Structure 1
Amino acid sequence: MTAARPGVTIVPIHGKTPKIHDSAFVAPGCVIIGAVEIGADSSIWYNCVLRADVSRIVIGERTNIQDGSVVHCDPERPGSPDGSPCIIGDDVLVGHMAMVHGCTIEDRGFVGLGAIAMNNSVIGSDAMLAAGAMLTENKVMEPRQLWAGRPAKFLRDLPEPAIAGMRIGVAHYTENAKHHGAAIAAIDLSD
């Protein structure tokens, strides 16, 4: 399930080794550490860091974590006996340079460019955290909501065209990952 991938650093730590589905695309420059699971047809784009050294990161199917994003988690601590794992569902879009930390993103959730989602926050299904927004600890976005700002606040419910657009984005990234995988396979990254 986790074969060597050209240009990708995969680091086992504390007895935990990343598990990456064979159909997932992980771009060169990525660092995947510890208790990370990446599901079928998901894509982790150039120069992302997924570090599950103190808890776990689970990424569902057909989800994309775009270029330069950081995904991390937190260990157990007083008041948080289970810690703050990062659980990301199926068909999720995480925009470039996002920071996703110890939160839950439900199926078909969306995190905009440069947005931050903090410990124990929840992005509901078909919900969108706007570009540059910061969802603070323990905040819960209900399904189909748009939140924006720093700190992020509810703006409005998302209309059907916006939700359809997010689904088109998921399909685009799933297909584009196949093209990038083939292009990378055709070059020699050992230099």
Structure 2
Amino acid sequence: MPTILPFKGKLPIIDPSVFLANATVIGDVEIGAGTNLWFGVTIRGDVNAIRIGRNSNIQDGSVVHCTRERFSTTIGDNVTVGHLALLHGCVVEDGAFIGMKACVMDGAVVEAGAMVAAGALVTPGKRVKAGELWGGSPAKFLRPLTEDDIRMQMSIAPHYAEMAKVYLEEVGGGVE
């Protein structure tokens, strides 16, 4: 069962079509239609706002937080956030990909369609440009995305949306 908690009088606003495995969602959070939050995800809008668009997937064990009085966190539409990622006070634009165990820090921006490699550390204030792959710790530009990268990236969000539908049918996990 998901945990949905208010904080300082703000209850998360979650579209009814969202799949929440056993995710925890707290405070000033809005989540758009078709998004799916997998097992052990924490979305903590207690010190600033968090906005998550439509049809995005945030995979198992990931944490989304924000920065008090400085940076909210915004995740666009059709974004993939891999297992155990940390997004903190940052912007991840539409169609971007955040790899497993990656960390995107305060004030950083991952532009639409950009890719952050698994294990990468995107340090505060960095901008990952559209069409680029960044990796390493600290993360830096590695190369332009290939057609295969883009094709793979575009296939993940729909795959997770289909999996979420199966889970909803078989075990529940939607917003009540």
User: Distance between the aligned counterparts of 2:89 and 2:171, measured in 1?
Assistant: 31
Match of residue 22 from structure 1: 16
Q: Give CA-to-partner distance per residue, 1:21-59, whole Å, 9 cap, x none.
A: 01110112x111001111000000001110000101100
TM, length-normalised to structure 2: 0.96
Q: CA deviation at 1:171?
A: 0.9
Runs of 4+ in structure 1 off by over 3 angstroms are none
Q: CA deviation at 1:75?
A: 1.3
Match of residue 67 from structure 1: 60
Q: Is 1:92 aligned to residue 79 of structure 2?
A: yes
Match of residue 116 from structure 1: 103
**Larger CA Rg, structure 1 vs 2:** 1
Give the counterpart of 2:29 among 31, 36, 59: 36
Unaligned runs of 5+ in 1: 1-6, 77-82, 187-191
Q: Which amino acid aligns with 2:97?
A: F
Match of residue 150 from structure 1: 137
TM, length-normalised to structure 1: 0.89
In structure 2, the residue corresponding to 1:58 is in which secondary structure? strand
Unaligned runs of 5+ in 2: none
Q: Which has the higher contact order (CA 8 A, sep 6+)?
A: 2
Q: CA deviation at 1:182?
A: 1.4
RMSD: 1.0
In structure 1, the residue corresponding to 2:143 is in which secondary structure? strand
Q: Which amino acid aligns with 2:106?
A: N
The alignment covers a number of residue pairs equal to 173
Q: Which amino acid aligns with 2:155?
A: I
Q: Give CA-to-partner distance per residue, 1:111-143, whole Å, 9 cap, x none.
A: 000000000101111111000000000000110
Q: Which amino acid aligns with 1:16?
A: K
Match of residue 166 from structure 1: 153
User: Distance between the aligned counterparts of 2:107 and 2:124, measured in 1?
Assistant: 6
